[in-house]
Amino acid sequence: MNTITKEISQAIARLREAAPLVHNITNYVTVNDCANALLAIGASPIMADDPAESGDITAISSALVLNIGTLNRHTIDSMIAAGKRANECGVPVVFDPVGAGASRLRNDTVKEILELVKIAVLRGNISEVSFVAGLDATTKGVDASAADGRRDAVSVAGLVAEKLGCTVAITGAVDVISDGKRVVKIHNGHPMLSKVTGTGCMTTALVGAYAGANRDAFVAAAAGVASMGIAGEIAYKKAGQVGTGSFHIAILDELSQLDFAVMEARLKLDEA
């Protein structure tokens, strides 16, 4: 077992021991799934999206997750207030720029958050991360476009990592994690994950859980992405043939069963 595989596998033990409180200002379509995914992996979720308390809740949390899936001015103000407080308190911020490039509001919000908040991890698909990189991106709503999918994800991730001074996780058929110096490609997962609403949001929440219990943002990002991929693989074998509803629930079941041994045995990655 190579060093990075061992570090990623050990991260879940630290997470379950620490049981970090993870503050999520997230997509209301998937908020329940994110909360259940966090509970399953061993973290404690809290969702506080009023500007009057978002900063206070962040101050007592181990990590902050910002997800712009369902935007409005109210939540934008909350995200900025929480993000600034997180930076003041040394709380890692995980940012998911859902649908970046699809509308002026999303584009302006992404730019505003990245200007005002120092993030530890950016997690998105290739179209969203390409937009952050300043490249021409052709998003398909909240999904990556086929045109953007032909880009070199390693190069895009590295570009954004250096630009923002953070770890970048680009998820897709092959996931790419980069902090500008280290790069891994993760080959876990199953195509059926794309048929369940919220698996991307859940992945971002999982990254937040790992970031709240592990100081290395690169390891946290890789562990969160790998956890969803591995859970999806096992869930498909157990329930995928029944249908997407059963598969959905099975993902949560498998996240709750993940441990060092499962991660070590099933993690498939390449160091680039």
Q: What number of residues does the chain have?
A: 272
CA pair distance 244, 196, nearest whole angstrom: 7
How distant is the alpha carbon of residue 82 from its chain centre?
18
DSSP string, 143-185: B--HHHHTS-HHHHHHHHHHHHTSEEEE-SSSEEEE-SS-EEE
Sheet of strand 63-67: strand arrangement: 44-46, 21-25, 63-67, 93-96, 121-124, 167-170, 175-178, 183-186, 269-271
Q: From CA 121, how far away is CA 143, in angstroms rounded?
A: 19
The answer to whether residues 237 and 151 touch, using CB atoms and an 8 Å cutoff, is no
The three-state secondary structure class of 244 is helix
Residue 123 marked ligand-binding? yes
Q: Which of 206, 159, 200 is nearest to 183 (CA)?
A: 159
CB 166 within 8 A of CB 173: no
Gap between the Cα atoms of 22 and 17, Å rounded = 14
Task: Please indicate if the annotation marks 171 as binding a ligand.
Answer: yes
**Residue 104 in marked binding region:** no
Residue ranges at the known binding site? 47, 123, 171, 198
Bind-site residues for ATP: 123, 171
Q: Which residues fall in the annotated binding site for substrate?
A: 47, 198
